[in-house]
Structure 1
Amino acid sequence: MLVTPLIGRFSALPLCYCFILILSLLSAPSDAAVPAKPTTSLTLAQAAERVLQQHPQLQVFDWRSQAAATEQELALLKPDLTLALQAENLLGSGELSGVKRLELSVAISSVLELGNKPQARIASASAQQALVLAQRQASSLDLVGELTQQFISVLTLQHQLQLASDNLLLTEQALLQVKQRVQQGAAPDAELLRAKVAVRQAQLQQGLRQAELESSKLALASMWGAQQADFDQVSGDLWLLTDSVAFPLLYQRLLATPQLEVFAATARLQQAQLAQLQTQSVADVSWQLGIKRSQENRDIALIAGFSVPLLNQQRQQGAVKIALAEQQAQRLNQQSAVLQLRARLYQAWQQHRYSSLLVRDLKREILPLLTQALAQTEAAYLLGRYSYADWLSARQALQEAQLQLLDAASTALRNQALIEQLSGLPLADNSSLPRPSQHKNMSFSSSTAMATEGSLP
């Protein structure tokens, strides 16, 4: 994704955080001359690694994971023992005055958990930890998806800036030719004025694209917390065209993506919490064991006791009903999320198909014809057969088609990345890349990170 010529090819690189993200770029040598000042290029893999390591949103999950692990450790603990010291007949009146009839007792007590409460507590803590992991995977995938879209924006602006620079060069050359014709008396002075205006407009357009590119680069760098962009350009290729996969296949893969895994993990947590709540219907037994000593006769006796609470079944049943209602609400939320993701996937699928066809038609048919028309119009203008307005119109038509090509290629690549993010299925046919069946943790493989060298026609 260099400005010109385009260099770099995306390929596969597994990233961490519990799932594989194929987001790497293989650099290819450029045919252009080596610039005097070396430039730094940023690949999508490098940007993704920075985001996954430094984004605060993912660092939050480190603390949540530690909290869930601690909760799981606490779930393994047994009920604590309690030491009790009791004194009776102390500092009374009459015969009970002083400590003559003092009775001291020392006992330990605890709770005997019944109804598989420890197992239910451990299962609930494990489900909570699994939910945190699923949330982290989904959040990582969303961040990389957002990063990819921003990366494509920078790439597109690089091409738009190159196109604006090429257009400025053409208008400057046209100005020289028009000036020569005006000096020869073959064209009116008004054409020279229009040619100067065209140059100035091209300069303004180039400055606008440069400003937009710098802003977009800063927006990209801010995703990993940088205050300014530490790269000159992003590296890769905008002209990746892939055939669309059948939508039913994409939809089936959608059902196993990390976004929906969060709902599944939440459902498992709710089921574990419900099971833990149901164990509360079985009362625990509190026990006490100790000794008692009488100061009056110096005798010692063993004391023991048991107590069982009288449970309020109505309150317990109400808590279970609340948990069941929350489970049903969660199922409906999951169904709603599936419908929304399906609609989003279908829209991206359709836009990818149309944009890919548009790119092919523009490159194969429209642009060659407009290029030929511009060459013929320029030759005719220099011979005095066409006016400057005809020549300018032909240049503008070609430029508009080139901008349309850039927009179509960018749209196709954006939707391709979104399809791969939602489905986890790479659209590019490359047998060397890992596939979801080859790694159980892979949730997003992006063939947007695979491309061959290309340039703007």
Structure 2
Amino acid sequence: RDPDFAVDADALRRLPAVAALDTIARWLEDAPELRRFADERRVREARLQLARSEAVADIGWQIGARRLGDGDDIGLVAGISVPFGSRRRAAPTIRAAQSELAALEIEREADRLSLYATLVDAHGRYQGARLEADRLDEEIVPALTRAAEATATAYRAGAASYLEWSQVQAEAVAARRQRLDAAVDALRALIEIQRLTARSFLDDTDTRTPPADRDAAVAPGRPQGDA
């Protein structure tokens, strides 16, 4: 069975304002791509600590009693053993652990910069598409809708041709289509921002719903006097 896809019309009208780029950039620390480094860093720090502990000499000592000569005298005997070369033997392991930890930091910073570049692009695309949708909602679509209504009235009165009405109507439809495309572009960018920051920007209190008459087609009817 073929999958059935549906478009959420409300989502195409909800284009919320998002925080400034510098604010959102601080939320990148919550990105899944960066969170994974925290656990790996703890593992590598533990390896480094273990390597350093192996460099510390394990001093051993012992104590006992010994009979002195053929008599009944007993003496206390103590001994200490200090292994040499522990630090030298552990040095390569320590350097390797330090290198692994430093490499992890470099990898994390490279990923962070890549994510930041992606965020800058997505933020810019969202702001641009949202402004375009605003302009179409507030200026272009209403103006073309009024023009289509006026042309339809003129056509019914015999003062405009059907071609004139159809051209204006086509422009109004094209503007609404352009607004829809801008909304789709904005939502794609917003989804990318949400993925990067692990935050949602859509809620029920920040919505922009264009008036219903912007999407209504203007019916021309028939010019007066037509048989």
Q: TM-score range by the shorter chain?
A: 0.5 to 0.7
Asked if 1:233 corresponds to 2:39, the answer is no
Corresponding letter in the other structure for 2:182: A
* Residue equivalent to 2:141: 367
Partner of 2:75: none
- Residues 370 and 236 from structure 1, CA distance in 2 versus in 1: closer, same or farther, beyond 3 angstroms? closer
Deviations 1:369-412 (A, max 9, x none): 11122233344455555455433332321122111100111222
Aligned-residue offset at 1:362: 1.2
Mapped partners of 1:337, 1:241: distance in 2:
29
Give the counterpart of 1:246 among 20, 33, 43. Answer: 20
Deviation string 1:290-316 (CA, Å, 9 cap, x unpaired) is: xxxxxxxxxxxxxxxxxxx99886664
Matched residue, 1:403: 177
Task: Give the aligned partner of residue 34 of structure 1.
Answer: none
Q: Any stretches of 5+ residues in structure 2 without a counterpart?
A: 59-82, 216-227
Query: Structure 1 length as normaliser, TM-score?
Result: 0.35
**Is the contact made by 2:41 and 2:101 (CA closer than 8 Å) also made in structure 1?**
yes
Matches within 5 A, 1:362-441: 362-381=136-155, 385-428=159-202
CA 1:418 to 1:367, structure 2 compared with 1: closer, same or farther past 3 Å? same
Q: Is the 8 A contact 1:250 1:425 kept in 2?
A: no
Equivalent residue pairs, number: 188
Find the counterpart in structure 2 of residue 156 from structure 1. Answer: none
Q: Decide which of 88, 93, 112 is 1:338's aligned counterpart.
A: 112
* Structure 2 letter corresponding to 1:396: A
Unaligned runs of 5+ residues in structure 1 are 1-226, 285-308, 432-449
8 Å contact from structure 2 (residues 57, 86) kept in 1 = no
Q: Which amino acid aligns with 1:352?
A: Y
Name 2:99's counterpart in structure 1.
325
Contact (CA 8 Å) 1:263, 1:334: kept in 2 or not? yes
Compared CA separation, residues 228 and 281, structure 1 to 2 (3 A): farther
What amino acid is aligned across from residue 323 of structure 1 in structure 2? Answer: A
Counting helix residues as a fraction of each chain, which structure ranks higher? Answer: 2
Q: Is the 8 A contact 1:236 1:451 kept in 2?
A: no
Could you tell me whether the CA contact under 8 Å between 1:257 and 1:422 is conserved in 2?
yes
Percent same amino acid among aligned pairs? Answer: 28
| Greater relative CO (CA pairs within 8 A, separation 6+) | 2
1-structure distance, mates of 2:209, 2:17: 18
Q: Residue 120 of structure 1 corresponds to which residue in structure 2?
A: none
- Partner in structure 2 of residue 152 of structure 1: none
Residues 117-166 of structure 1, C-alpha deviation per residue, up to 9 Å, x if partnerless? xxxxxxxxxxxxxxxxxxxxxxxxxxxxxxxxxxxxxxxxxxxxxxxxxx
Task: List per-residue Cα deviations over 1:27-76 (Å, max 9, x = no partner).
Answer: xxxxxxxxxxxxxxxxxxxxxxxxxxxxxxxxxxxxxxxxxxxxxxxxxx
Inter-partner Cα distance in structure 1 for 2:119 and 2:85: 51
Which whole-Å CA distance do the structure 2 matches of 1:365 and 1:246 have between them? 26
- Structure 1 pair 414–393 and aligned structure 2 pair: CA distance change class (3 A): same
AA partner of residue 419 (structure 1) = I
Which residue is equivalent to 1:53?
A: none
Which digits, 9 at most, give the CA deviation of each residue in 1:237-288, with x for residues without a partner? 121132231322212222233322112222222112222344454699xxxx
Paired residues for 1:7-406 under 5 Å: 228-229=2-3, 231=4, 233=6, 235=8, 237=10, 238-281=12-55, 316-381=90-155, 385-406=159-180
Query: Which residue identity lines up with residue 6 of structure 2 in the other structure?
Result: Q
Q: 1:407 to 1:235 in 2, by over 3 A?
A: closer
2:55 and 2:87 in contact (8 A); partners too: yes
Query: Which letter maps to 1:421?
Result: R
